[in-house]
A and B are shown apart, each in its own frame.
Chain A
Amino acid sequence: MVPTTRVLAALAFTAAVPALVLGWLWLAGRVEGRLPRVVPWLWLAPALLPVGVFLAWPLANTVWLSLRDGGLDNYRYLATSAEVHTALRNNLLWLVLLTGGCLLVGLVVAVLTDKVRYEAVAKAAVVLPTAIPFVAGAVIWRFMYQYRPPGLPQTGTLNAVLTAAGAGPVAWLVDTRTNNAALIGVGVWMTAGFATVILSAALKAVPPELHEAARIDGAGAWQAFRHVTLPELRPAIVVTATLVAVSAFKAFDIVYVMTNGNYRTDVIANLMYRQLFVDQDYGRASAIAVLLTLLAAPILVVNARATRGSLR
């Protein structure tokens, strides 16, 4: 049985919210004539308040924590620690390879399937993995990458193929030459569908007259793609690239499940998780969070600009 107090609270809430909104509107109407400069802020307040409470305040608090627990030592740790440098290097790899890989796959699939009959099926094959949680995807790929010493039957799909072709098995996740690429490959598999959807939609919005005109002017297929399609897709590409780039900085699940950052595959988010939950070092964890925010900020600026541009 639901307690009466909870029923009363629900009723009060249902009544209070419309009352609050109406009151706000009334207040704004009253103010409008007398204090015109205050009015925009009145309209913005309902949006600014949650942003302040849920975004600005935690951000400020994180900066404060990074300075309070350990002070500048936390930032000295960021500057001098080998594990931070490895993680930063790996995040750079993620940034370049994940973004590049997703755009490439997305663009190729979108263009190639654009005018074929089985477009839906072909795109579904690429988009389907985006429906799988990252952790589940990582577990699946652990089986794909499984390694057993030469001579034993290979249980991992990739190594089974390699050995069937006569090559030796590769310890994908342990070998430092392959492991970062192997992890990022899983990321591409799981994110490329997202890029495909956006780019494919943008492709369909390119006016056919442009292509017709280009053809009449004597452009070949490649020239039409290079000089008509690509420029038209540019805003969509920039938006997709920035969104994928931000997710590259946030990479966590795949690394956590597949290598836990061992064998030089650590990334910033994993480092933060360990400092926070295992080492319980709030200062260092906050300093890493600040660094992560600073790194992602420029990308978000580009994203915001591109979004505005495509709306125009």
Chain B
Amino acid sequence: MRTRPLIATTAALLTTLAAGCGGTGGTTQAPPAQAADRLQAARDAATLAAGGEKLGGTLNLLGVLSGPQLDAYLGTFAPFEEATGIKIKYESTGDVFAVLQTRIAGGNPPDVVSNPSAGQVAQLAARGELVPLDGILNMAKARADYPAGLLELSTVDGELHGVFYNTAVQGLVWFDPKTYQGPKPPASWDELAAWAEKTSAAGTAPWCVGLESGPSSGWPGAVWIEEFVLQQAGPEVYTRWWKGELPWTAPEIRRAFERFGAIATDAAQVSGGPTAVLTTDFNSSPQGLFADPPACHLHVQADFLGNALAQTVPGVVPGTDIDFFPFPPVDPARAGSVEISGETLALLKDSPRGRAFMRYVATPEFSALVAGTGQWIAANRRTPLEAYTSVLSRRAAGVYADAKTVQYAAQNAMPLAMTQAFLKAVLAYVGKPSTLDAQLAGLERARAAAYKS
């Protein structure tokens, strides 16, 4: 759901953004090239993962990426292909959850899935559709290299079923340093909200929000709500919430919806008002930052936004034209709470090729390449900071590393049915704020069925 941003950032950014905004001419930044020694180290790691054998053949991989992000993604597997002779065949779909269920039901699963929903990975693991990795990986190493919270997401019956490809720090607040005059970073949400109020009174909507994203429309709004739950009620409530142990009608959840609604449904707070929020593609919504005069000053999006803008909008330089600060804490005691998302690689068909692949992606040599794409943060804790080729990625990686608590995006941790209902409720709420009670009651009914299995 979440990495869907990643997919479409490509095509849509290229077309919509390049046309509509940007600096004063200039060129876009080329994607960074991987260092030769890192590529060689990854090849060696791949050879080791395959037990020194040239296995050959193909490995089918199902995922959601396309365009430049897919190129960056596949580039991290190139050393594996060279070292083992295994050809990676990537199949891209915008509707990975349904396609995956259909392929499994039809007896034709892919070898590996790169899944943005850890919730679905856990569901599949519980149904016995995934190959447990305990007998394949060096588990002591895996436990040391990955944050326990991430491993736990795909651990079912005591066995690990997935390895995170990347992580993305969610809910960063982006701005154009040339025009943004507010606090950076604000010490609390209230400080930022006070500035936003002042800006709004002066006649400019402070925020740009866009929720349109095809079948997963609404996810950026769900991130906002997740941030508010996390930043005001804390990680314990947050965890109970996505695990289905907290009613949707609870005051903590209700308040989070209302805080988001105070922005997204108020034409004085958000550029274009709620209709624009619902109809604007999440890719083109940050356009407003670069309009002249700016249509808005702030935009909430994950860590990939700055680099994506730099690679697609002429004249945008990371740090100079686009920068960020972490989502401010609502309750100052919650400072340092960070929400992340990421794609989980999970094995559906056991084979020597699949085993070699899973061993390879669990190595720090591989995660250094993920860091080197300039797109993502690597999930492996042994990824060296200097492997990040972009100043913004390095800083986002710093936010991730320094966080007091790291929480996985609730919408991607929930069972699929709950996620869908959540996203639909976000859209319905923004469309008609007076229906909040009905939406929450509907989500509460959906909870009973969604967590049943």
Task: List A residues at the B interface (Cβ < 8 Å).
Answer: 82, 146-149, 152, 171, 173-176, 256-257, 260-263, 273-274, 277-281
Contacts and interface: CB of A to CB of B under 8 A. Distances in A.
A279 B417 CA distance: 5
Interface in B63-107: 97-98, 101-102
B371 interface: no
Nearest to A176: B431
A310 to B, nearest CB: 39
A156 to B, nearest CB: 9
B278 interface: yes
B98 A279 contact: no
A103 B361 CA distance: 58
Interface stretch (B39-47, B145-153, B159-167, B268-276): B268-276
A43 B218 CA distance: 57
B279 interface: yes
Contact of A274 (B217, B420, B427, B449): B420
A152 B20 CA distance: 10
A6 B242 CA distance: 52
B208 to A, nearest CB: 11
Closest 3 CB pairs of A and B: A149-B272, A277-B98, A279-B417
Contact of A278 (B98, B272, B280): B98
B276 A148 contact: yes
A280 B101 contact: yes
Contacts of A277: 97-98, 101-102
Given A262-B428, A263-B431, A277-B97, A174 B279 contact: yes
Contacts of B453: 280
B275 A279 contact: no
B393 to A, nearest CB: 31
A245 to B, nearest CB: 27
Contact of B275 (A152, A174, A274): A174
A149 B208 CA distance: 12
Contacts, number: 63
B214 interface: yes
A263 B453 CA distance: 29
A278 B273 CA distance: 31
Given A149-B272, A260-B214, A263-B427, A279 B101 contact: no
A279 B449 contact: yes
Contacts of A279: 416-417, 420, 449-450
B215 interface: yes
Contacts of B217: 260, 262
17 contacts: A148-B280, A152-B272, A171-B279, A174-B278, A174-B431, A256-B215, A260-B214, A260-B215, A262-B424, A262-B428, A263-B278, A263-B428, A273-B98, A278-B417, A278-B420, A279-B416, A279-B417
Nearest to B415: A279
A17 B424 CA distance: 53
Nearest to B100: A277
B416 A278 contact: yes
B279 A173 contact: yes
A308 B178 CA distance: 75
Nearest to A274: B420
A147 B98 contact: no
A77 to B, nearest CB: 9
Instruction: Tell me which of A175, A273, A277 has the highest count of chain B C-beta atoms within 10 A of its own C-beta.
Output: A277
A143 to B, nearest CB: 11
Contacts of B417: 278-281
Contacts of A174: 275, 278-279, 431
B279 A147 contact: yes
A82 B279 CA distance: 24
B11 to A, nearest CB: 12
Contacts of B424: 261-262
Contacts of B273: 149
B64 to A, nearest CB: 15
B224 to A, nearest CB: 17
Interface string B391-413: 00000000000000000000000
A257 B214 CA distance: 7
Given A260-B215, A262-B217, A263-B431, A281 B276 contact: no
A205 to B, nearest CB: 44
Nearest to B127: A280
B413 to A, nearest CB: 16
Contacts of A280: 101, 416-417, 453
Nearest to B445: A81
B62 to A, nearest CB: 14
Given A174-B279, A278-B417, A262 B427 contact: yes
A171 B275 contact: yes
Contacts of B427: 262-263
A163 B218 CA distance: 28
A52 B278 CA distance: 47
Given A263-B431, A280-B101, 13 more contacts: A146-B279, A148-B272, A148-B280, A149-B271, A152-B272, A171-B278, A174-B275, A174-B431, A261-B424, A263-B428, A278-B420, A279-B450, A280-B417
Interface in B410-448: 416-417, 420, 424, 427-428, 431, 442
Nearest to B291: A152
Interface string B167-188: 0000000000000000000000
A301 to B, nearest CB: 32
Contacts of B442: 82
Nearest to B276: A149
Interface in B256-301: 271-273, 275-276, 278-280
Nearest to A284: B449
Contacts of B97: 277-278
